[in-house]
Chains A and B, each alone.
Chain A
Amino acid sequence: MFYKTELSSRLFLGTAQYPSPAILAEAIRASGTEVITVSLRREGPGGGVFRDLIAATGCRVLPNTAGCHSAREAITTAHMAREVFGTNWIKLEVIGHADTLQPDPFALLEAARVLCAEGFEVFPYTTEDLILGEKLIEAGCRVLMPWGAPIGSGQGLRNIEGLRSMRAHFPDIPLVIDAGIGAPSQAAQAMEMGFDAVLLNTAVAKALDPVGMARAFRQAVEAGLAAHRAGLMPRRDMAAASTPIFGMAALA
């Protein structure tokens, strides 16, 4: 449950960087997503087309505060987004570093406190830091979105053990891997580890065939979720024969 909203698709899809609006619309359909991320920008040509496109998808929108470097900017952007998109959902991004696009944990927490108190349903883009996660939950966040790797890097899950600890530490909080996913196998891995969803954009938008890649991610996320629910076998250091020894012929 993501703020009392049940989602059957566990893939959240970004809407930026596609070759054309038509391919974006088709990729959204192929991905099976129910949640798309959007932003607020100074309107350029074709703005109206995008508005119509979003409405036609029937998806829930998750506006972001991408590009904000201070709590104040992010809070103002969230206010503007709530009015334009008519939703309390906000993907809270407060960037601390231009090269890594790493979240600024201090400003993130400050903005999360203000926005949660104002009734926003905050999806904070965070790291795998457990203390920060706890503080965000204290602030009122009911979802956490740890990064897999730096935004747009396609590196997958850079700190698997740290993410595993986070999953174990917050068993009842929906956790969404946000950013850094480059391949469907990485999305499947996140889901197998018990994450509740993955949010990605570049991996689909910059594929040679974005629609085909959207479909591949849909299948990977579904497979990873099904695998997690089915229960993975424990890993072993040594081999363990699967075919029974009993009844084996004496041929040596």
Chain B
Amino acid sequence: MRVDVNGMPHEVGATTLSALLDELGFEAPCVATAVDGTFVPRTLRDAHPLSPGARIEILAPMQGG
């Protein structure tokens, strides 16, 4: 299905958030995730189903002021 990951369209086979992280090669313990503007904690990623068109944000520590 087609989903939006960090603002870019992706065609993915994953149907859950944790499978998506694996599929795209993210280091799961080092990132935080949100789906459609709502935070999804690490412990709930396995159970979080993705639907077509979902907007997924995968964020990591970066420089900041």
Total CB contacts across the A-B interface at under 8 A = 93
Q: Tally A residues with Cβ within 8 Å of B.
A: 35
- Contact A40–B62 (Cβ < 8 Å): yes
Bound complex: CA A73 to CA B57 (Å): 12
Residue of B nearest to A66 (CB): B64
- Contact A40–B65 (Cβ < 8 Å): no
Contacts of A41-55 to chain B: CB distance below 8 A:
41-44, 47-48, 50-51, 54
CB of A126 closer than 8 Å to a CB of B: no
- Contact B65–A54 (Cβ < 8 Å): no
Bound complex: CA A48 to CA B27 (Å): 10
- Contact B37–A72 (Cβ < 8 Å): yes
**Contacts known (A17-B63, A83-B32, A201-B65); A42 close to B38, Cβ less than 8 A:** no
Bound complex: CA A85 to CA B61 (Å): 8
Q: How far is the CB of B18 from chain A (nearest CB, A)?
A: 14
Bound complex: CA A44 to CA B31 (Å): 12
**Contacts known (A80-B32, A80-B34); A42 close to B61, Cβ less than 8 A:** no
**Contacts known (A79-B39, A83-B41, A84-B59); A43 close to B31, Cβ less than 8 A:** yes
Give every chain A residue within 8 A of B12 (Cβ-Cβ).
Answer: none
Give every chain B residue within 8 A of A17 (Cβ-Cβ).
Answer: 63, 65
Bound complex: CA A151 to CA B65 (Å): 9
CB of B60 closer than 8 Å to a CB of A: yes
Contacts of A204-227 to chain B: CB distance below 8 A:
none
**Contacts known (A39-B62, A42-B6, A51-B60); A84 close to B34, Cβ less than 8 A:** no
**Contacts known (A42-B6, A42-B59, A79-B39); A37 close to B34, Cβ less than 8 A:** no
Residue of B nearest to A65 (CB): B64
**Contacts known (A76-B38, A83-B41, A83-B42); A43 close to B59, Cβ less than 8 A:** yes
Bound complex: CA A201 to CA B65 (Å): 6
Residue of B nearest to A37 (CB): B64
Contacts of B19-65 to chain A: CB distance below 8 A:
26-27, 30-34, 37-39, 41-42, 57-65
Top 9 A-B residue pairs of the complex, sorted by shortest distance between their CB atoms: A39-B64, A14-B65, A80-B32, A201-B65, A43-B60, A41-B62, A16-B63, A79-B39, A40-B59
* A-B contact list, 9 entries, CB within 8 Å: A40-B60, A40-B61, A40-B62, A50-B61, A50-B63, A51-B30, A64-B65, A83-B42, A84-B32
